Structures are given as structure tokens and as C-alpha cells.
């Protein structure tokens, strides 16, 4: 048995509703006005019954609260103790115990079990005119209707395909669609034809441009080889040059003088050689002192050392050194090398003919050419760096030699520069080797351009192209034919499925009617629809051959297309309820002992007589099943149900609050109380000072109902039951039914209540309590009828 609704969270209007404070009973009447959660609660129970999480997930609260995801905890009584069925993480993690089995009657049960000729609310349904009973049968019937529509659509599509094939002059679409096709695919033939047509155009272009093609340029080297050996040889030979025929004696005197008096011999020699040119007369050209014999002798020795031959030698060395100030020049600029490489690539791009552009070796050659170009640039940068370094190293030495040309200087080792030159020259050569390979392809292609040979090839290509187009034309309609073959198979399959489902429905409907029809018919008659009769008959209606339930109203057969005009929504709901009850009644005693029956508003739109009959039937069932849960938004129904099951009933109320739905147990008297009873409770609580809510506006209706109710028989016999209250009081007094003093008291109270009732005046609370107290005293102590 379901004992407690511990938690309903994040579903519909149930924010976080807990009902742990009370236990459910054998029979439970759940009352709540519309939109107060009754149907949501039944969907939760239906979800548990069918293990269908979608019934809960589809009712997820809007807007949702991430902290309150859909969650349900229902506590059942089981042999091993309390058992909690739990829904969380989008699924039922714990099902109901084996000793409890839910059976839910709700609005969806009607749609799942009864087709009465009315348009169904579900998608993909259609207007039907017959009766189909039972959940499995209604599902099969809807499937059958959908299949019938599908078969008609497929046949229409097949006819349309036949017309499309016929527009191409095909007389027999089926025969043509099944005829043999070429071995090649259409896509392959189209590609082949495209290639043939393209090749034709290329050959025509080649013939037209033969002279221009032969005149196209080929690839060239992008730089010259570098040779610095001549410059290096001149540098080192100049550095080694010296004057061997200087007078040996003069040279000895000069060396001795330098050794004793000069710190920088090299600079002094140059200065001395130049200074001799300034000597004139008997004075020193620098200090102006007179020259003695010793000084004149030394100068004569200098003049012997630095004679004309010495000057000529020095001038020759200096001239060579002037020529060697920039010995390591590069004839090719880096930008020029790049321009030549791009020109080579542009030359390759001119050859758009497939003999070149489609040559498998060309991409590798172009990649290699780019790689070699990058190698040339890298080697160029290295050479430029070393060339500048060698020049910077050489210039100070050149200046040193320039100052004393006749003195030999140690030769320079330029091996690092020469190594860089070797790498640079090798990259230029490697680049040219790739150029030669590409030029071989270009030269070979130019030699192959022969007009007569090309014209023969183009003639053969034209013939091949025409043959290929013939094959393509042969299979142009193949996609359409393939659709035709597929659609023919779909029609056959749909018809076979339809026939199978039709037979399945006939058997299922027959079995259902055999098991349940008598019980449903008896219940339907017993529950107040005795103007109707339902019979089971076989109906052959084209593709929808089913066993149906035919309807008679007051003995007259109702045409199937008129049923919906006679069979009301109330009757349809009653029939669905009878199906539900018949199913429960047919359960074995063991199954009934586990059954928990849930009824969601079972008497909506029913008249009082039918409500009473249904409650009687439920009273019979509750003695055999484990538990009964009835929800209703109709206060009268709730009251009738509680009164019917008073000894076993639990009253539960659902109320919408600011925080969602609140579920609570209420006493049965509260559930059965009328509005007049509730008004008495409020007035009595006010008089006893339990509350301070001013109830002045409730006093007049309560007072009038009590008077009219106490004297209903007399007022009716006197013909004034519909008259104003003052007329009723005076008539009762005039006819001796009440005393003059009581009539005066009643009229006084009536007058005191008129102003508040008409003007909604509040007055003082104590004044209201006094009037209310007087009314209760008069009503329950003075009225004697």
C-alpha cells in the first residue's frame, strides 16, 4: 500500500512538496481545485506504473530550478518493512514493491482505450467513425489508419513515377526499370566524357598555338659562380713584395739609426722617405736649425736608401693596393636572384598543356627547385657575411702595407671565405641541375608538337566521346527507374504490413470483446447509460476491416458517422471507466490483493445519479483491492466520496501556495462540510475571540440561510419562499408560526446587517462580535421550527 507521498519536486507546480507528516489510508480522497496538481500527481503514479520517465520529464517545472531537479519519493508498505520508490537522475531508480501494483485511470486512459468516431487529440490521428475498445486495440487501429494512409500515398507516388518515365517515350515503365544497365557507373562515364571533351579542346588549342609554344622560354641559371682566388693571390703576392737592391751600406746605417733613436721603425721609414723631399738649403725643414756635417751625412745616406728605384717600387705597390680595397665583390644581388627564380616558375606556369601540367614528375621537380632556391639564398647570406668579414680584416693590413710598401708582410689565410664560396657555387650548380631536368621535359614537349599527328588523335577522341555520350543517354533515366523499383517494393511491403496488422487487429479485437465485452456492457448499463446499447459486430470497410462496437440509442441503431453527435463526452468517459473497471474486476484474487487503483477525476461531467452509481461500484471494489486513491476538483464529489467511505477514508487536500503545491491531510468533517458549515466555524471562532478577521459580511447570508432553512416547509406552503427576508419574517409572524417578539428580534438583527452588507462598512470589531453573538444565540436557542 502507498503510505506516504514523501517528496514531489521540480514537477509541474510541485516545487518541493512533502507529505511525510501523514499516512494514506485504505481509501483516499484527494481534493484540489483545477491547476492545483491533481493530474500531475496522477502522471507521477502513472509514470511509476508504466516505468515511463517521460511522463515526469515532460512535466518538468517551468521555469526550472537547477537546485530542484525532478525527484519523487513514494513510501510503500511491504512485507520487509517500508519501501521507498524513488525517481531521480531522469529515471525510476527504485520501482514499487512487488506486493503493490498501480492501476491508473486518467484522461490519457480514455484516449488509449476508446475510439468513438471523434477526432483524437494525438498527433498523426485521423477522423474515425467506429468504436474500438482496449488499449492495445486502439493503438493497433491508429497504426492501421496510418498504414492505410501510407499505402495510398505510396501508390500515388508510384503512379507519378510511371508518368515521369512515360514522358521519355517509355511504354512499359516496369519493364524498362528492370532492364539491364551498362557495366560502368553513370558518374564514371560522365567523367570520361568530360575528360575526352577537355582533351579535344586542349589538342585544338595546341594545334592553334604550336608556334607560340615552341617559342616559349625555358629555365635559366639564377646566379654566376664566384671565384675569389685571383684577388686572394694578388693580395698575398702584394703583401710579400719587398725591395731587394737598396744600397746595403745605406740600409745598415738607416737600420742602426732607427734601432737607437726610433720606436716605430715602419712608420719612421715612411716618414723619412717622404721627408727627404722637404730638405732645401742648409736648414732643417722641420725645426729650422742649421744642418751640421753629421746631419748632412745622415741625410745623404737616407737619400741613397730612398732613391728613385725605391719610389717607383712603392708607387707600384700602392697602385695595386688601391685596386684591392674591395677585392670580394658579388656580381649578383639577392633580389635579382629572387626575380630570376620567380621568372623560372612563371615559365613553368606557361605550360598549361597536360603533357607538362599533368606530368607526375613535375611537382617533385618544382618542389626541388624551390628547395634549391632556398639553399642558394642561405648560402648567399653566409657568403655575404664572410665576404664582408674578410674585407674588414684585410683593409687594416692593406693600410699597413700602404705605409711601408717595400716591407714584406705575412700572407693572409682566406680558407674560411673560400669554403663559403665553394658552398655557394655548389648550391647554384644544384639549382641549375634541377633547371636542366625541367628543361628536358619542356624541350621534349616542344619536339612532340606535330600538327598531323595531333589531328589524328583528335579525330579518335571525337569518336570515343560520341560513344560515351551514347552510354550516358542509355542510363539517364536510371535514377528515376531506381525510384520506381524502390517504390514498387515499398508498396508491396506496405500492403503486406497493412494486411498483417489488419489481421492482428481483427484477432486482438475479437479476443478483447470475448474476454471483456459482456463485463463492459453490464457496467456501462449499470452506470447510468441505460439509453445506450453496445453490440459487437464485424465491419468490412475497405482496407479498415475490424470488429467494431456498434451503438443503439433507445433501441435505434446509430449510423457510424453519426455516433459522435449522440455519444456525449460524459458517455465516452463512462465507457472508458467501464473498460478500466472491467479490467480490474477480471483480475485474479491474488492480483486484486496487490492492486492500488488511482482515479483522476473519475466523475467529471457526470450527473449526480451516475456519481452515486460509480461510488457504489468503487465501494464494492475497495473491499477486494489493496488501496483506492480518488482525486477530484469537484467539492461535491469529494464530499460524497468521503461520506461513502467514511470508515476507511483519508481526506487529503492540494493547495497552490507561493512556494508551489502544498499537500496535507484534513479531517473528514472538513471535507464533507458545506459552505454554510464553514461559515458557522468562522463566525464561532470570531465570537470566541480565536481570530480577529472581521466576518461582518458573512453574517447576513448565514442568518438568512438559517431562517429560510428552519422554516422551508412553512414558507413554501405559504408561497413566500422566494420573497425578501423581511416578507418571510412578517409572514411567519402573521401566521402564528413565530411570536411577535421573535419577529421583532429577527427584523432588528436584519436591519443591523443591511448597512454592512450593502455598504461593506467595517465598524468596530467588538460591535461585530456583539451582533454575531446575538445571531448565534437567536439561531440556536430561539428558533424552534
Last residue of a domain, one of 388, 413, 448: 448
> What pLDDT score was predicted for residue 281?
63
pTM: 0.51
Residues of the domain holding 727: 675-782
pLDDT 10s digits, 338-351? 999 999 999 999 99
Band (246; pLDDT cuts 50, 70, 90):
very low
- Listed range (276-285, 404-413, 591-600) with the worst mean pLDDT: 276-285
| Domain presence at residue 270 | yes
Please tell me the predicted confidence (pLDDT) of residue 530. 67
680 and 592 belong to one structural domain: no
| Residues 637 and 693 occupy one common structural domain | no
Cross-strand bridge partners of residue 101: 595
Distance CA 14, CA 676 (A): 31
CA distance 57 to 53: 6
**642 and 714 inside one domain:** no
Specify the number of domains making up the chain.
Answer: 3
Does residue 439 lie within any of the structural domains? yes
Single out the residue in 640, 669, 698 at which a domain terminates. 669
Residue range 54-73, pLDDT digits in tens: 999 999 988 888 899 999 99
Residue 221 lies in a domain: no
Q: Is a pLDDT exceeding 80 seen at residue 205?
A: no
Same domain, 9 and 38: yes
633 and 766 fall within a common domain: no
Note the helical H segments in 553-674. 563-566, 569-585, 589-594, 608-622, 635-644, 668-672
Say if residue 380 is in the same domain as residue 339.
yes
For residue 518, is it within any domain?
no
Report the distance separating Cα 50 and Cα 54, nearest Å: 10
Residue 525 has pLDDT above 60, yes or no: yes
Which among 616, 649, 669 is the end of a domain? 669
Regarding whether 609 and 730 lie in a shared domain, the answer is: no
663 in any annotated domain: yes
441: pLDDT confidence band, cut at 50, 70 and 90? Answer: very high
Query: Is 531 domain-assigned?
Result: no
Whether residue 724 sits in one domain with residue 604: no
Of residues 263 and 703, more confidently modeled: 703
According to DSSP, the residues that pair with 657 across neighbouring strands are 660
770 and 655 in a common domain: no
CATH no. for residue 37? Answer: 3.40.50.300
Residue 758 is predicted with a pLDDT of 42
**Maximum mean pLDDT: which of 94-98, 536-540, 637-641:** 94-98
CA-to-CA distance for 276 and 308, rounded, in angstroms? 12
Report helix, strand and coil shares of the chain as percent, to nearest 5: 60, 15, 25
679 and 664 share a domain?
A: no
* The predicted structure's pLDDT at residue 427: 97
**In 3D, which of 338, 359, 559 has the Cα closest to residue 441?**
359
Q: Is the pLDDT of residue 382 over 90?
A: yes
Residue 212 has pLDDT above 90, yes or no: no
778, 749 in Cβ contact below 8 A?
yes
Residue 412 belongs to some domain of the structure: yes
Q: Is residue 407 part of a domain?
A: yes
Assess contact for 302 and 254: CB atoms under 8 A: yes
Residue 613 and residue 693 in one domain? no
Q: Given pLDDT bands bounded at 50, 70 and 90, which one contains residue 372?
A: very high
Query: Do 647 and 740 share a domain, yes or no?
Result: no
The more confidently predicted of residues 746 and 500 is: 746
Calculate the dihedral angle through the C-alpha atoms of 22, 27, 28, 29, rounding to the nearest 10 degrees. Answer: -150
Amino acid at each position: 500500500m502507498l503510505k506516504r507521498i514523501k517528496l514531489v519536486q521540480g514537477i509541474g507546480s510541485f516545487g518541493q512538496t512533502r507529505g511525510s507528516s501523514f499516512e494514506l489510508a485504505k481509501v483516499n480522497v484527494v481534493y484540489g481545485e483545477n491547476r492545483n496538481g491533481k493530474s500531475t500527481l496522477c502522471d507521477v503514479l502513472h509514470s511509476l506504473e508504466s516505468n515511463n520517465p517521460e511522463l515526469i520529464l515532460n512535466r518538468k517545472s517551468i521555469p526550472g530550478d537547477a537546485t530542484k531537479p525532478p525527484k519523487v519519493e513514494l513510501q510503500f508498505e511491504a512485507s520487509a518493512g517500508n519501501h521507498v520508490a524513488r525517481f531521480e537522475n531522469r529515471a525510476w531508480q527504485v520501482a514499487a514493491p512487488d506486493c503493490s501494483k498501480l492501476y491508473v485511470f486518467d484522461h490519457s486512459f480514455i484516449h488509449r482505450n476508446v475510439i468513438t468516431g471523434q477526432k483524437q487529440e494525438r498527433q498523426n490521428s485521423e477522423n474515425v467513425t467506429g468504436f474500438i475498445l482496449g488499449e492495445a486495440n486502439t493503438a493497433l487501429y491508429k497504426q492501421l489508419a496510418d498504414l492505410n494512409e501510407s499505402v495510398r500515398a505510396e501508390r500515388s507516388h508510384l503512379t507519378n513515377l510511371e508518368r515521369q518515365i512515360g514522358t521519355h517515350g517509355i511504354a512499359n515503365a516496369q519493364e524498362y526499370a528492370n532492364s539491364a544497365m551498362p557495366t560502368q557507373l553513370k558518374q564514371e562515364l560522365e567523367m570520361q566524357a568530360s575528360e575526352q571533351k577537355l582533351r579535344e579542346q586542349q589538342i585544338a588549342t595546341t594545334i592553334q598555338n604550336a608556334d607560340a609554344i615552341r617559342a616559349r622560354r625555358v629555365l635559366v641559371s639564377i646566379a654566376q659562380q664566384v671565384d675569389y682566388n685571383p684577388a686572394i693571390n694578388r693580395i698575398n703576392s702584394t703583401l710579400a713584395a719587398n725591395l731587394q737592391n737598396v744600397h746595403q751600406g745605406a740600409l745598415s746605417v738607416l737600420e742602426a739609426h732607427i734601432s737607437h733613436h726610433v720606436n716605430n721603425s715602419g712608420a719612421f721609414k715612411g716618414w723619412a722617405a717622404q721627408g727627404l723631399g722637404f730638405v732645401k738649403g742648409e736648414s732643417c725643414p722641420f725645426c729650422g736649425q742649421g744642418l751640421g756635417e753629421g746631419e748632412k751625412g745622415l741625410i745623404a745616406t737616407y737619400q741613397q736608401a730612398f732613391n728613385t728605384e725605391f719610389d717607383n717600387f712603392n708607387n707600384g705597390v700602392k697602385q695595386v693596393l688601391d685596386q684591392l680595397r674591395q677585392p670580394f665583390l658579388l656580381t649578383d644581388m639577392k633580389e635579382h636572384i629572387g626575380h630570376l627564380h620567380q621568372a623560372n616558375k612563371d615559365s613553368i606556369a606557361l605550360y598549361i598543356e597536360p603533357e607538362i601540367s599533368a606530368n607526375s614528375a613535375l611537382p617533385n621537380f618544382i618542389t626541388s627547385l624551390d628547395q634549391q632556391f632556398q639553399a642558394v639564398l642561405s648560402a648567399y647570406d653566409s657568403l655575404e657575411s664572410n665576404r664582408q668579414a674578410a674585407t674588414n680584416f684585410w683593409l687594416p693590413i692593406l693600410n699597413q702595407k700602404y705605409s711601408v710598401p717595400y716591407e714584406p708582410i705575412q700572407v693572409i689565410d682566406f680558407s674560411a671565405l673560400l669554403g663559403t664560396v665553394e658552398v655557394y657555387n655548389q648550391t647554384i650548380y644544384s639549382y641549375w641541375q634541377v633547371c636542366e631536368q625541367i628543361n628536358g621535359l619542356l624541350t621534349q614537349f616542344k619536339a612532340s608538337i606535330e600538327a598531323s599527328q595531333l589531328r589524328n588523335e583528335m579525330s579518335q577522341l571525337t569518336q570515343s566521346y560520341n560513344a560515351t555520350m551514347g552510354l550516358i543517354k542509355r542510363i539517364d533515366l536510371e535514377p528515376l527507374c531506381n525510384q520506381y523499383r524502390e517504390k514498387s517494393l515499398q508498396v508491396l511491403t506496405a500492403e503486406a504490413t497493412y494486411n498483417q496488422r489488419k489481421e492482428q487487429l481483427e484477432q486482438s479485437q475479437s479476443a478483447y470483446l470475448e474476454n471483456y465485452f459482456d463485463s463492459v456492457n453490464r457496467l456501462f448499463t449499470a452506470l447510468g447509460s441505460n439509453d445506450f446499447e453496445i453490440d459487437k459486430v464485424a465491419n468490412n470497410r475497405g482496407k479498415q476491416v475490424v470488429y467494431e462496437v456498434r451503438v443503439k440509442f433507445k433501441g435505434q441503431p446509430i449510423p457510424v458517422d453519426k455516433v459522435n453527435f449522440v455519444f456525449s463526452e460524459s458517455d465516452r468517459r463512462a465507457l472508458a471507466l467501464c473498460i478500466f473497471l472491467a479490467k480490474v474486476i477480471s483480475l485474479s484474487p491474488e492480483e486484486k490483493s496487490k492492486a492500488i487503483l488511482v482515479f483522476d477525476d473519475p466523475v467529471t461531467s457526470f450527473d449526480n445519479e451516475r456519481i452515486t452509481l460509480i461510488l457504489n461500484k468503487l465501494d464494492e471494489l475497495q473491499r477486494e483491492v489493496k488501496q483506492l486513491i480518488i482525486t477530484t476538483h469537484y467539492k461535491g464529489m469529494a464530499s460524497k466520496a468521503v461520506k461513502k467511505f467514511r470508515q476507511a477514508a483519508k481526506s487529503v487536500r492540494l493547495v497552490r501556495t507561493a512556494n508551489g503545491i502544498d499537500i496535507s491531510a484534513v479531517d473528514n468533517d472538513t471535507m464533507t462540510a458545506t459552505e454554510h458549515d464553514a461559515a458557522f466555524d468562522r463566525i464561532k471562532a470570531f465570537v470566541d475571540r480565536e481570530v480577529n478577521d472581521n466576518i461582518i459580511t458573512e453574517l447576513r447570508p448565514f442568518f438568512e440561510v438559517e431562517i429560510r432553512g428552519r422554516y422551508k416547509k412553512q414558507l413554501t406552503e405559504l408561497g413566500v419562499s422566494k420573497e425578501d427576508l423581511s416578507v418571510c419574517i412578517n409572514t411567519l409572524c402573521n401566521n402564528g408560526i413565530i411570536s411577535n417578539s421573535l419577529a421583532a428580534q429577527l427584523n432588528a438583527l436584519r436591519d443591523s446587517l443591511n448597512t454592512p452588507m450593502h455598504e461593506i462598512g467595517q465598524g468596530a470589531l467588538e460591535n461585530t462580535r456583539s451582533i454575531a453573538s446575538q445571531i448565534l444565540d437567536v439561531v440556536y436557542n430561539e428558533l424552534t421550527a
